[in-house]
Amino acid sequence: MAMEMRLPVARKPLSERLGRDTKKHLVVPGDTITTDTGFMRGHGTYMGEEKLIASVAGSVERVNKLICVKALKTRYIGEVGDIVVGRITEVQQKRWKVETNSRLDSVLLLSSMNLPGGELLGQGVLVQVSPSLVKRQKTHFHDLPCGASVILGNNGFIWIYPTPEHKEEEAGGFIANLEPVSLADREVISRLRNCIISLVTQRMMLYDTSILYCYEASLPHQIKDILKPEIMEEIVMETRQRLLEQEG
Amino acid sequence: MAGLELLSDQGYRVDGRRAGELRKIQARMGVFAQADGSAYIEQGNTKALAVVYGPHEGMGQGWTQGSQLKGARGRHMQDRERKTGGFVLEIRGSRARALPDRALVNCQYSSATFSTGERKRRPHGDRKSCEMGLQLRQTFEAAILTQLHPRSQIDIYVQVLQADGGTYAACVNAATLAVLDAGIPMRDFVCACSAGFVDGTALADLSHVEEAAGGPQLALALLPASGQIALLEMDARLHEDHLERVLEAAAQAARDVHTLLDRVVRQHVREASILLGD
């Protein structure tokens, strides 16, 4: 029986291959950002001995008089108007505790279930990524032309599900649609999932166009091959190029 | 051990280093995708892996070392630990352990059964692991800005894969990198190093051979920018006249470690920043 064996090999960091450098001011904790006391301190900084010192490792962002340090990877910090996808972890008397990849669990009141506040999702696949990789857009619900739909939660939880054939108004409560999903749909969904994971590994921002291009770039390969490092790099490079062409 | 010179006449140690010289350090951040933060460090032959989860919802009783709990509940926990191989499930939402004004830092130390010369029989739950966990917790409570995350919990799990002396230092260094990788705000890096005293000379970064020889040894965790000490630990007899010198050797070694870790973090941040694009 033929088996596939892989050997680990040192790889060159991807940033070298991209051949560009960053213009941002990068700091690590303990670094003095400025000794000028006129600035207001934002997230990621603290005042120590009349100096503004960084408390996370990331890039300095200056907006007028406000200085903050944006960390590379943090838990989700909610903002008004964000769309989030969560997982119910606890059921209490009148509310549910939802895990949303943030510092504390979120609360979903039962009374807000039929309102636009909370919507229960049926069958699908959840992918957890870092919140900083989800791009802020006007809408986060996307029906991709390849045959599946995607909800990009701002908190880094991404829900991939088969596009429902007809959108009907849910009059009463939530009736879980437990019909088995077809094989073609399943394949599309797993391919999408692997594409999202490869984009995340190469630290690319996630939005509908990047996911779609990545999906198209991955079509020549088998679904299970997408997660191999060299194929992942190839697909993401192609996606990057297409996105650059589209912008330029 | 007659005939084993820890410090030769020319000033060379057993492995050829000078008195104040550190072992080769290699470190990497972001080794686990599923954790919030993770790091791996090698100091000579000592290898440590640190994983950080959090800040997240405070968890109730459930994840503790078996020897900490007493009474019937303790025994029940110990049985569960043995059956599940030492991993006990956490119970979410219990308000018993969450602190109202700051984050709870929970550290756990574990050394692999294959990490020492002779196979260890009990990886977690023994006295040394408990003590290390407590020391790590004291160290990181001093450095992490816990006031920014009330009622949440930060978990730091450290595992030693190969122990060749200086395990506490390697754990602290790995945990610092992991906490940075998770984006948890800290006052400064926490850099640690061990030091000993042989023949009137202070040695920095002891290896297992030097630790086993039985001389006095000290472990120091430092916040380099301000020079503040997060933890200083020694359980041996040392004349107070010598303390100053040994402390200075450890502090200098910790500052050298900081230079290295600083470089690693900057490289990691720069790489990620380039990939994300401007």
Q: For chain B, what percent of residues have pLDDT higher than 90?
A: 54
Residue A63 C-alpha, separation from nearest chain B C-alpha, in angstroms: 16
Q: B110-134: string of b/e by CB count within 10 Å (b at 16+)?
A: bbbeebeeeeeeebbbbeebbebbe
Q: How confident is the model at residue B235 (pLDDT cuts 50, 70, 90)?
A: confident
Q: How confident is the model at residue B189 (pLDDT cuts 50, 70, 90)?
A: very high
Choose the mutation target among A70, A103, A135, A202 for the interface with B, i.e. most B CBs under 10 Å. Answer: A103
Q: Residue B188 phi/psi, 5° resolution?
A: -170, 170
Whether B159 contacts B112, CB under 8 Å: yes
In the predicted model, is pLDDT for residue A172 greater than 80? no
In the predicted model, is pLDDT for residue A170 greater than 80? no
- Asked if this assembly's ipTM is beyond 0.95, the reply is no
Q: A205 CB near a chain B CB, below 8 Å?
A: yes
Average pLDDT over residues B100-117: 90
Average pLDDT, chain A: 83
Q: How confident is the model at residue B69 (pLDDT cuts 50, 70, 90)?
A: very low
Residue A75 C-alpha, separation from nearest chain B C-alpha, in angstroms: 8
Separation of alpha carbons B40 and A207, rounded Å: 32
Residue A46 C-alpha, separation from nearest chain B C-alpha, in angstroms: 8
Q: B212 CB near a chain A CB, below 8 Å?
A: no
The beta strand positions in chain A, using DSSP E, are 26-27, 32-34, 40-41, 45-48, 51-54, 58-63, 66-71, 87-91, 95-99, 106-109, 125-128, 141-143, 148-152, 157-162
Identify which of B255, B178, B138 has the alpha carbon closest to the alpha carbon of residue A30: B255
Whether B49 contacts B167, CB under 8 Å: no
- Which amino acid appears at position B258 of this protein? H
pLDDT for residue A97: 84
Helix (H, G, I), strand (E, B), or coil: what is residue B116? coil
Q: How confident is the model at residue A146 (pLDDT cuts 50, 70, 90)?
A: confident
pLDDT for residue A176: 64
- How does DSSP assign B3-50, residue by residue? T--SB-TTS-BTTS--TTPPPPEEEEE---SSSSEEEEEEETTEEEEE
Separation of alpha carbons B54 and B149, rounded Å: 10
Handedness of CA A238, A239, A241, A246 (dihedral sign): positive
Please tell me the least confidently modeled range out of A93-107, B71-85, B197-211, B238-252.
Answer: B71-85
Q: How confident is the model at residue B228 (pLDDT cuts 50, 70, 90)?
A: very high
Task: Please give the model's pTM, rounded to 2 decimal places.
Answer: 0.84
pLDDT for residue B122: 77
Q: Do A104 and B266 touch (CB under 8 A)?
A: no
Q: How confident is the model at residue A115 (pLDDT cuts 50, 70, 90)?
A: low
- Write out chain A residues lying below 8 Å of B189, CB-based: 28-30
- Which amino acid appears at position B222 of this protein? L
Q: Chain A residue with minimal CA distance to B59?
A: A104
pLDDT for residue B68: 38
Q: In chain A, how many H helices and how many E strands?
A: 4, 14
Q: How confident is the model at residue B278 (pLDDT cuts 50, 70, 90)?
A: low
Which of 78-97 (A) contact B at CB < 8 A? 89-90, 97
Q: Chain A to chain B, count of Cβ pairs less than 8 Å apart?
A: 115
Q: Do B56 and A23 touch (CB under 8 A)?
A: no
Whether A14 contacts B273, CB under 8 Å: no
- Write out chain A residues lying below 8 Å of B225, CB-based: 30, 53
- Write out chain A residues lying below 8 Å of B33, CB-based: 200-201
In the predicted model, is pLDDT for residue B74 greater than 50? no
Please tell me the least confidently modeled range out of A138-147, B54-63, B117-126, B183-192.
Answer: B54-63
- Write out chain B residues lying below 8 Å of A26, CB-based: 266, 269-270, 273
Residue A85 C-alpha, separation from nearest chain B C-alpha, in angstroms: 17
Please tell me the least confidently modeled range out of A92-96, A194-198, A224-228, B74-78.
Answer: B74-78
Over residues B127-157, the pLDDT tens digits come to 889 999 999 999 999 999 999 888 889 999 9
Separation of alpha carbons A186 and B210, rounded Å: 59
Tokens found for residue A149:
């739909």
In the predicted model, is pLDDT for residue A166 greater than 60? no
Please tell me the least confidently modeled range out of A76-90, A112-126, B65-79, B143-157.
Answer: B65-79
Tokens found for residue A95:
């509310």
In the predicted model, is pLDDT for residue B84 greater than 50? no
pLDDT for residue B75: 41
In the predicted model, is pLDDT for residue A238 greater than 50? yes
- Write out chain B residues lying below 8 Å of A30, CB-based: 187-189, 223-225
- Write out chain B residues lying below 8 Å of A203, CB-based: 272, 275-276
Token look-up 């030492």 returns B86
Separation of alpha carbons A75 and A132, rounded Å: 9
- How does DSSP assign A197-232, residue by residue? HHHHHTT--B-HHHHHHHHHHHTTS-GGGGGSHHHH
Query: How far, in whole angstroms, is CA B119 from its chain's centroid?
Result: 21
Whether A162 contacts A133, CB under 8 Å: no
Q: Do B270 and A26 touch (CB under 8 A)?
A: yes
Q: Do A30 and B224 touch (CB under 8 A)?
A: yes
Q: Chain A residue with minimal CA distance to B32?
A: A201
Highest mean pLDDT among A69-73, B62-66, B159-163: B159-163
Tokens found for residue A154:
């701002």
Give residues with Cβ within 8 angstroms of B188, minimum separation 6. Answer: A29, A30, A53, B143, B223, B224, B225, B226
Residue B93 C-alpha, separation from nearest chain A C-alpha, in angstroms: 8
pLDDT for residue B80: 41
Q: Do B57 and A105 touch (CB under 8 A)?
A: yes
In the predicted model, is pLDDT for residue A18 greater than 60? yes
Average pLDDT, chain B: 84
Q: Do A103 and B189 touch (CB under 8 A)?
A: no
pLDDT for residue B78: 45
Average pLDDT over residues A103-126: 77
pLDDT for residue B73: 39
Give residues with Cβ within 8 angstroms of B206, minimum separation 6. Answer: B165, B166, B194, B195, B196, B217
Q: Chain A residue with minimal CA distance to B272?
A: A203
- Between B73 and A91, residue with greater pLDDT: A91
- Write out chain B residues lying below 8 Å of A55, CB-based: 145, 185-187
Q: Do B270 and A22 touch (CB under 8 A)?
A: yes
- Between B175 and A36, residue with greater pLDDT: B175
pLDDT for residue B139: 93
In the predicted model, is pLDDT for residue B76 greater than 60? no
Is residue A196 packed enough to be buried (19+ CB in 10 Å), middle (13-18) or exposed (0-12)? buried
